[in-house]
Each structure stands twice: as structure tokens, then as C-alpha cells.
């Protein structure tokens, strides 16, 4: 497991982390996304406060940084930058949201590379998916910076 700024994680601590993130994954189950009050079901995990609280690693003014419970890639350094307000597609972002996402993406990448000097040559992919045809599975726009340390980065193109 790779941890931003981490040095060593014991097996017991790793198991604890896995257990915590399994709980977050379970929160994303369809049953948990439906309100018990009879409201219209929501399939937008990023508008569900319980999920945000479980996965949030940083809260900005307009943007949350969430840990992805199902990261892409073998080394699994995968975070999500998500607008706090519901935005379905990139073109729905405000200028302020766009600027904060851009700033936070750069800071995340620099932070990771500064904390891992032996991996400064890592490949970085920053992407989003808009619409079902592009593979967007949550109807709330989000940006995904992924950091790769080997040739597995080619899997994303």
C-alpha cells in the first residue's frame, strides 16, 4: 500500500485501513444510497454526506479530495477531486471551482513527489469522464489524478 507522506505501515494497521475502506465501499451499495424517508433514490455518492465523511482526506473551500475506495492501477495512488456542489459535467463547473481543482491537483502531485524523492519520475494521469459512454459511473463530475511508478501507466493511454 502506498500512502502519501507515509513511511511504514504495519500489517495490523493495513488490515485496519482495509476494513475501514470496506465500510466506505459498503456505503456505496445501492441499498445505502436510498433514503429511508421515502425520498427519491440518489445514485450520486458525491452528494451523500455519509460517504463524503468516510472518504474525505481534505476539504477545500469548494472542493473535497476523496480517497477512492476502488483505485485504478497496481500501486493504487488514486484520489478524487470533487466539487461540493452537484456538477454533472465539466462544463457545469464555475470558474472558481475549476481554479481550485487545478491548484489542488498540482499541490497533490508536488506533495507526493516531494515525499517520495525516489519516485519523482512517476507518470501522472489527470482525467475525468463525462457521460455514460465515457465510463462515468457517478453522475457527479470529478477529476482523478493517478500516479504510476512503472510502465503500468500505459494502461490509461
pLDDT tens, residue by residue, 17-33: 556 555 554 544 444 44
The domains found in the chain, sorted by start residue, are 11-156 (3.30.428.10)
* pLDDT (average), residues 122-135: 84
Cell, residue 28: 456505496
Q: What is the predicted pLDDT for the residue at 96?
A: 97
Task: State the chain's mean pLDDT as an integer.
Answer: 75
Q: What is the predicted pLDDT for the residue at 94?
A: 96
Q: What is the predicted pLDDT for the residue at 124?
A: 80
Q: Are 101 and 93 in contact (CB under 8 A)?
A: yes
How many other CB atoms are there within 10 angstroms of residue 11's CB atom?
7
pLDDT tens, residue by residue, 80-117: 999 999 999 999 999 999 999 999 999 988 888 888 78
For residue 99, what are the CA distances in angstroms to 17, 62, 63, 102?
32, 10, 10, 5
Amino acid at each position: 500500500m502506498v500512502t502519501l507522506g507515509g513511511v511504514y505501515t504495519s500489517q495490523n494497521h493495513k488490515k485496519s485501513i482495509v476494513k475501514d475502506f470496506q465500510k466506505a465501499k459498503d456505503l456505496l451499495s445501492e441499498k445505502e444510497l436510498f433514503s429511508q424517508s421515502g425520498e427519491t433514490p440518489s445514485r450520486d455518492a458525491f452528494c451523500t454526506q455519509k460517504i463524503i465523511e468516510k472518504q474525505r482526506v481534505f476539504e477545500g473551500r469548494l472542493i473535497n479530495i476523496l480517497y477512492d475506495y476502488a483505485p485504478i492501477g497496481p500501486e493504487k495512488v488514486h484520489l478524487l477531486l470533487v466539487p461540493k456542489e452537484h456538477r454533472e459535467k465539466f462544463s457545469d463547473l464555475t470558474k472558481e471551482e475549476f481554479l481550485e481543482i487545478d491548484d489542488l491537483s498540482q499541490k497533490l502531485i508536488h506533495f507526493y513527489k516531494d515525499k517520495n524523492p525516489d519516485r519523482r519520475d512517476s507518470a501522472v494521469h489527470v482525467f475525468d469522464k463525462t457521460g455514460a459512454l465515457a465510463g462515468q459511473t457517478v453522475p457527479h463530475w470529478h477529476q482523478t489524478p493517478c500516479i504510476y511508478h512503472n510502465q503500468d501507466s500505459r494502461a490509461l493511454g
